[in-house]
Amino acid sequence: MIRLLPLSGDIEPAIRRLGWDWAVEDACAAYLAPEAVELTEPEAETLLEAADTLYEMLVQAVPDELPDAFLQQLGIPANLWQAVRHSWHDERHWHLYGRFDLAHTDEGPKLVEFNADTATSIPETAVVQWASLMAAGRPEDQQQANGLFEGLELQLREWRQLNQDLAPHLLLVHLPDSAEDEANCTVLAEAARGASFSTAHVCSVDAMQVSVLGEDRGAWAEVRPGQWQRFDFVFKLVPWELLAEEEPELTEDLTQLLLSRDVMIANPPYALLFQSKAMLARLWEVFPHHPLLVEARMDDLVGHYVRKPLFGREGQNLTEIEYGLEKHAESGDFAEQPQVRQQWIDFPTDAQGRRYQAGVFWAGEACALSFRRAEGIITNLSEFVPHIITG
């Protein structure tokens, strides 16, 4: 049973004191729960350790040569294979961060999925849930497992140090007209400035210009009216598979720039290996009956399970099946994708029957916790719940 502690107070002053007005103005806290999940320190450590173990398992489950059959099994678009292989075999292509979604069941944590490429909820986790504790005036001995901002800064610093031959200018791009994605990039830009990047510029991906020709070769953005700058580092909060499908020419140009080291991109193309939900089936194949896993396969299971599109996001097109009958189906844009089957997981619930999913951020190591809750399937619209470690 989930234990809850009430939270009161206005988080807006605490956030504005940080100078991060966008976290309030962009309605980042609009779906913040007025209470927090209570955890003991051992419970928090169990979730963090699970994420670290799972990341190691993911790395071990990838065959180093990345054969065609493996990339096909994961559903990796063929026009990304060269970039995926290149980045996998060159450690200068650095995986900055991701978010493990876990269910803390009676049998221990279970992997739901790993958001390895474009994980969001960074502002809520790093800033808003901390501000909620400050606003509520909780005792100082009540803490959070919340080192996300520091973890991102360390990862960005390591990425910079691995590529010291490149100029320390970072362009952060997001999908057009997405205030949420822009807010996530803004936090990463703050971390980049603390990690010795002299420039950290945020804009829509449509505002980025890419060339593979002559003196203009590289990635560019207009940092001030009429002033264009070349960027050797690019962070893209745009899914790799979306680029491959909808922008094949841009994908080809970015691949060329990666191969020639004119641009370094994070998260790197190989993050798509971990992002593919077919990795759930691969993990079960390599580590059958591991305590952090539930059964997952590419064909139908027996009993109670869910079907997920390989690159579905935000809970879209997730279908619940029980003994061959469809119990519930989420709508969405990913219905045509291949699907993985995963055994049904009994999420922990509170006294009102709401289900809770833990989000464990990994940035070089597991570094932060947060929770989402809903009565049914947990999606991007589900309520965000802070946490408190009480002992």
* pLDDT (mean) for 121-126: 91
pLDDT (average), residues 177-188: 91
Beta strands 304-309 and 319-322: pairing type? Answer: antiparallel
**If pLDDT is split at 50, 70 and 90, which confidence band does 96 have?**
very high
**Dihedral sign (CA 253, 255, 256, 261):** positive
| pLDDT 10s digits, 137-168 | 777 667 899 999 999 999 999 999 999 999 99
pLDDT number for residue 371: 97
State the amino acid at position 151 in one-letter form.
G
Residue-averaged pLDDT of the chain: 93
**Which pair of structure tokens corresponds to residue 157?**
């610093």
Kindly indicate the confidence band of residue 315, based on its pLDDT and cuts at 50, 70 and 90. Answer: confident
Average pLDDT of 196-212? 97
Residues 55 and 115: beta-carbon distance below 8 Å: no
Strands (E), the chain: 4-6, 35-39, 98-105, 108-115, 169-174, 199-204, 209-211, 218-224, 227-231, 233-237, 264-266, 296-297, 304-309, 319-322, 325-329, 339-343, 355-362, 366-374, 383-385, 387-389
Distance of CA 351 to the CA centre of its chain: 29
pLDDT at 391: 75
**59-to-40, 270, 271, 279 alpha-carbon distances in Å:** 30, 11, 11, 11
**Residue 15 pLDDT > 70:** no
Question: Is the pTM value of this prediction over 0.85?
Answer: yes
